[in-house]
């Protein structure tokens, strides 16, 4: 049997920028070619995995399907060579390193921070209400809470937050001309430069926290020991780096995409305003609907056969989460945005060994923002089309111009 092939658009950053997610292509892949070979002229070849059940099976076998060889199919794959963090480690190291942080990201602990998050969300929305009707929802709302929260958790000084925001955009949006540096640096070179600068900054920061620990997570990481030794510099800096990136890029885009979905489904927004107790279920549906992470990769260390397709050890596969979250064999009417959807076991946060460490944090943040919006929104509409990020890793929205009327 000839190996089925996948359209290159599913990995083409420019396609995502111009069109958003290629749902119709994933629908066809799920139906006819659940394991399809994709060969983009500028990227490493890979097999596209589009079905929900397959992503679960693969993610639950980390001893066979490894994360370390390749995490994303993008020029950023070059960038991965610069970092060694839990997201691209495999067992047994992965578990040992994840344990260093896992107790700080439990549901119980993060739920305790809900009142504080609600307060920050209220301040953000107060500022929007004071500003008047026309706002860029990304600048004025979505970007602020995730950035403030991760900076606070890590103890990053307030004055440096904008710089961190810039660095994360440069890494995740390195292909996007909007994030090119004034000297023209863009692409892989830009991503690598930004990582080096983050590492330089954090090296001094970590040294400081080792000498004078505080109650922030940088102090925990700087002083953690594995087998009696401090974390080696690369692993330590990569840990901080991945928390900053993951803590920022994903929740911001879920917030923007969630607002867009509510604008496009006014009956759902109206219902939620009348029944704010549905906010938790609404947040889950927003993450299913937006699926901010487009793909992550795995590489089998032995030859495997999936749906009749032979994949050799060392070849790469990419799992497409937004496709899994529209899988009609799992979700009833998957293209219906339904804030009351139940069950809703989406894969937006991944599953298995690398299940998102920050999932509860994201839930608390999204709950705070959307609860705040439901309490006071009187009217909201799009005033121009969203401007999308050039990326096939993150479904990013760079700007979302809206007219919003808020009760003060």
Q: E strands within 63-122?
A: 65-66
3-class state of residue 305 by DSSP = strand
- Find the shortest distance in angstroms from Cβ 134 to ligand HEM: 27
One residue of 17, 33, 59, 238 binding ligand HEM per CB under 6 A: 59
| The binder of ligand HEM chosen from 22, 257, 300, 348 (CB under 6 A) | 348
Site for ligand HEM in 305-334 (CB under 6 A): 321
**Least distance (Å) from ligand HEM to the CB of residue 182?**
30
Phi, psi of 320 (to 5 degrees): -100, 100
- Whichever of 248 and 268 has its CB closer to ligand HEM, that residue is 248
Contact 66, 299 (CB under 8 A): yes
Give the side-chain half-sphere CA count within 13 A for 252: 32
**Least Cβ distance, residue 355 to ligand HEM (angstroms):** 7
**x/- string (CB under 6 A) for ligand HEM, residues 123-162?**
----------------------------------------
Give least dist CB 96 to ligand HEM, A.
11
CA 288, 55, 83: angle at the middle one, nearest 5?
A: 90
Binding mask 183-222 for ligand HEM (x = CB under 6 A): ----------------------------------------
Residue entry with tokens 């992550």: 296
For residues 145 and 123, what is the distance between their CA atoms, to the nearest angstrom?
10
Given a contact cutoff of 8 angstroms between Cβ atoms, the answer to whether 386 and 139 are in contact is no
> Which is it for the CA torsion 396, 398, 399, 405, positive or negative?
positive
> Of these, 241, 289, 349, 406, which contacts ligand HEM (CB under 6 A)?
349
Q: Find residue 399's DSSP bridge partners.
A: 387
Query: Site residues for ligand HEM, window 365-394 (CB under 6 A)?
Result: none
Q: Which is nearer to ligand HEM, 105 or 406 (CB)?
A: 105
Query: Which of 350, 334, 336, 323 lies closest to 31, judged by CA?
Result: 323
Beta-sheet pairing, 229-230 with 225-226: antiparallel
> How far is residue 164's CA from residue 24's CA, in Å, rounded to a whole number?
36
Q: 34, 292, 372, 395: which one contacts ligand HEM (CB under 6 A)?
A: 292
Region 245-274 residues binding ligand HEM, contact defined as CB under 6 A: 246-247, 250-251, 254
DSSP assignments along 16-70, one per residue: HHHH---HHHHHHHHHH-SEEEE--TTS--EEEE--HHHHHHHHT-TTTEESSS-
What would you report as the CA-atom Rg of the chain, rounded to the nearest whole angstrom? 21
CB of 407 to ligand HEM, least distance (A): 27
Only one residue has tokens 């994030």, namely: 179
The region of 32-40, 267-275, 345-353, 377-385 touching ligand HEM under the rule CB under 6 A is 345-353
> C-alpha distances in angstroms, 183 versus 132, 180, 375, 391?
36, 8, 45, 22
Q: Shortest distance, CB of residue 154 to ligand HEM, whole angstroms?
A: 9
Judged by beta carbon, residue 192 or residue 317, the one nearer ligand HEM is 317
User: Considering beta carbons, is residue 80 or 136 the nearer one to ligand HEM?
Assistant: 80
Q: Which of 13, 293, 369, 404 is in the footprint of ligand HEM by CB under 6 A?
A: 293
CA distance 41 to 266: 42
Instruction: State which residue has the least CB distance to ligand HEM.
Output: 358
Q: Applying CB under 6 A, does 287 fall inside the site for ligand HEM?
A: yes
Shorter beta-carbon distance to ligand HEM: residue 45 or 91: 91
Two structure tokens written together for 47: 């097999």
Instruction: Name residues contacting ligand HEM, limited to 86-125 (CB under 6 A).
Output: 86-87, 98
* CA dihedral over 11, 5, 24, 26, signed as positive or negative: negative
Task: Identify the residue among 128, 269, 357, 397 touching ligand HEM (CB under 6 A).
Answer: 357
Instruction: Name the minimum Å distance from CB 353 to ligand HEM.
Output: 7
Least distance from C-beta 248 to ligand HEM, angstroms?
Answer: 8
The footprint of ligand HEM on this chain (CB under 6 A) covers a number of residues equal to 26
C-alpha 244/C-alpha 166 separation (Å) is 11
Site residues for ligand HEM per CB under 6 A: 59, 67, 86-87, 98, 242-243, 246-247, 250-251, 254, 287, 292-293, 296, 321, 348-350, 354, 356-358, 361-362
């Amino acid at each position: 049997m000839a190996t089925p092939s996948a359209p290159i658009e599913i990995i083409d950053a420019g396609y995502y920028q111009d069109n958003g997610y290629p749902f119709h292509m994933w629908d066809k892949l799920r139906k006819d070619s659940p394991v399809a070979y994709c060969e983009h002229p500028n990227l490493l070849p890979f097999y596209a995995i589009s079905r929900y059940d397959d992503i679960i099976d693969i993610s639950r076998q980390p001893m066979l399907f490894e994360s370390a060889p390749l995490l994303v199919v993008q020029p950023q794959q070059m960038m991965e060579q610069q970092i060694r963090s839990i997201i691209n480690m495999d067992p047994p190291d992965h578990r040992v390193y994840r344990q260093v942080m896992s107790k700080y990201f439990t549901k119980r602990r993060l739920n305790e921070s809900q009142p504080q998050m609600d307060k920050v969300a209220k301040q953000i929305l107060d500022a929007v209400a004071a500003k008047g009707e026309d706002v860029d929802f990304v600048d004025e709302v979505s970007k602020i809470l995730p950035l403030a929260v991760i900076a606070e958790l890590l103890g990053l000084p307030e004055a440096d937050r904008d710089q961190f925001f810039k660095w994360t955009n440069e890494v995740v949006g390195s292909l996007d001309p909007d994030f090119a540096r004034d000297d023209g640096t863009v692409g892989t070179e830009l991503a690598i430069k930004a990582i080096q600068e983050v590492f330089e900054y954090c090296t001094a920061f970590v040294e400081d926290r080792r000498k004078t620990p505080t109650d922030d997570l940088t102090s925990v990481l700087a002083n953690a020991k594995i087998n009696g030794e401090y974390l080696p510099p690369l692993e330590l800096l990569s840990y901080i780096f991945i928390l900053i990136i993951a803590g920022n890029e994903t929740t911001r885009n879920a917030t923007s995409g969630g607002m867009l979905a509510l604008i496009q489904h006014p009956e759902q927004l109206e219902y939620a305003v009348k029944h704010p107790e549905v906010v938790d279920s609404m947040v889950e549906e927003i993450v299913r609907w937006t699926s901010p992470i487009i793909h992550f990769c795995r590489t089998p260390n032995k030859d495997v056969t999936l749906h009749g397709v032979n994949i050799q050890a060392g070849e790469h596969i990419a799992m497409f989460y937004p496709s899994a979250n529209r899988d009609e064999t799992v979700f009833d009417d998957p293209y219906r945005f339904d804030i009351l959807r139940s069950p809703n076991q989406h894969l937006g946060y991944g599953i298995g060994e690398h299940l998102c460490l920050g999932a509860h944090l994201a839930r608390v943040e999204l709950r705070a923002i959307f609860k705040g919006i439901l309490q006071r929104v009187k009217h909201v509409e799009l005033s121009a089309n969203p401007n999308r990020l050039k990326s096939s890793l993150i479904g990013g929205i760079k700007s979302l111009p809206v007219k919003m009327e808020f009760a003060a």
